[in-house]
Amino acid sequence: MDYQILIVGAGAVGLAIANTLAKNGLSCLVLEENSSFGMETSSRNSEVIHSGIYYPEASLKSRLCIRGNAMLYEYCVRKSIPHKKIGKYIIASDEEELSKLKSIYSYASSIGVPGLSFLDSEAMHQLEPNIICTGAMLSESTGIIDSHALLQSLFDDASSAGVDFAFKHSFLSAEKSADLYTANIKCGEDIFSVTCEYIINCAGLRSDKVAEAMGIDIDKYNLRLNYAKGCYFRIRGYKDIAKRLVYPVPPVHKRSLGIHLTIELNGEFKLGPDAEYIDNSSPSYDVPACLNEKFYSAASKYIRGLSIEQLHPDQSGIRPKLQKPGEDFRDFYIEEESSKGLANFINLIGIESPGLTSCLAIAEYVQQYIN
């Protein structure tokens, strides 16, 4: 046996799992198609530490986000990773949204999300004179993080614990014989094999393809991913907009949390993301300048004095969503696939937001499947 654990994917979740398992004495190899770690979903996001407000109580997204929030803050303090527990407002723009917001507040309080309070429009105006709303919910446990520093720390910790990394290496397939898998791997034009006891699929945007390569019928089990692109616009020339993050009441379609105002660790402001389903076969990270009208229309409803000239294209990211267009909530898919004839294959698909917040809790959760 070459390694006990083969992990496919070196995003935040793959790094966290490698770190956790290696520190328990297991030999690990991490494969990554890109030239370095965390180059896709893990580094193209709002860099928000979420509190777990929106998700169904029994869901993995709820449980792992609430657990992961506490674990991530502790890790950041211990490892001196730049972060700030800045808090966020979810704001209502009319009486109908105010009613929805009160329901969100009641629900989030009931499932144990800490640090929640409700503010009326007058209290909000005193705290945030540039924000227009009829009421707001404050989540004090929401924060911001330097995601690149987090990824670097997880990589350094895993490397120090003995994890081997193979960048620019792609997973092709695997065969099971007795208690071992023989995994076939491609690097450039070369194909070679390694033997391992467990395979853990953390391949993010290609996690459904890895599952398919293992022999799982991803359409039968409704595991085919849908790519949802989110763009961001930076705000220039408008300082001190707000002291905390500002989110609208989530839109009905539930593809995202709506175009929100994020404060970066350097004090700059950006808006986003929006959410548009795109063709999986040709993803692009471009940010069309013409989207400024869409972003201005959304943000000017709650930011007083914003002008469209202050919005400038920034970055974009792509979410690996199990939720199809028009479909309701889909949870993280994290399963050990013995029921599909693949003992010791641990499958993680649809790890979108709040995946970054949940990464350490996901690693803890996956650990239960390792004998």
The pLDDT of 65-88, averaged and rounded, is 98
Q: How confident is the model at residue 255 (pLDDT cuts 50, 70, 90)?
A: low
Q: Report the SS3 class of residue 47.
A: coil
pLDDT band at 162 (very low <50, low <70, confident <90, very high): very high
Residue 371 pLDDT level (bands cut at 50, 70, 90): confident
Listed in sequence order, the residues at least 6 apart from 321 whose beta carbon sits closer than 8 Å to its beta carbon are 225, 226, 227, 228, 255, 330, 350, 352
Residue 362 reports pLDDT greater than 90 = yes
Closest C-alpha to 138, from 104, 110, 184, 163: 104
131 DSSP 8-state letter: B
- pLDDT at position 258, please? 84
Segment 264-311, tens digit of pLDDT: 999 999 999 999 999 999 899 999 999 999 999 999 999 999 999 999
Whether 251 shows a pLDDT value over 80: the answer reads no
Q: What residue type is assigned to position 263 of the chain?
A: I
Q: CA end-to-end span of the chain, whole Å? A: 16
pLDDT > 80? residue 240: yes
Sequence-ordered strand ranges (E) for the chain: 3-8, 28-32, 48-49, 83-84, 88-92, 116-120, 135-139, 143-145, 164-167, 170-177, 180-187, 190-201, 226-235, 245-248, 260-263, 269-272, 276-278, 311-321, 333-336, 345-349
The pLDDT tens digits for 91-126 are 999 999 999 999 999 999 999 999 999 999 999 999
- The 10s digit of each residue's pLDDT in 317-339 is 999 999 999 898 999 999 999 99
CA pair distance 350, 170, nearest whole angstrom? 19
In this predicted structure, the answer to whether residue 175 has a pLDDT above a threshold of 60 is yes
Q: What does the alpha-carbon distance between residue 150 and residue 143 come to, in Å, rounded to a whole number?
A: 14
At 252 the pLDDT is 66
- Residue 205 tokens read as 């945007």
Query: Which amino acid is present at 76?
Result: C
Q: Is the Cα torsion angle 161, 163, 164, 166 positive or negative in sign? A: negative
Please say if the pLDDT value at position 190 is more than 70: yes
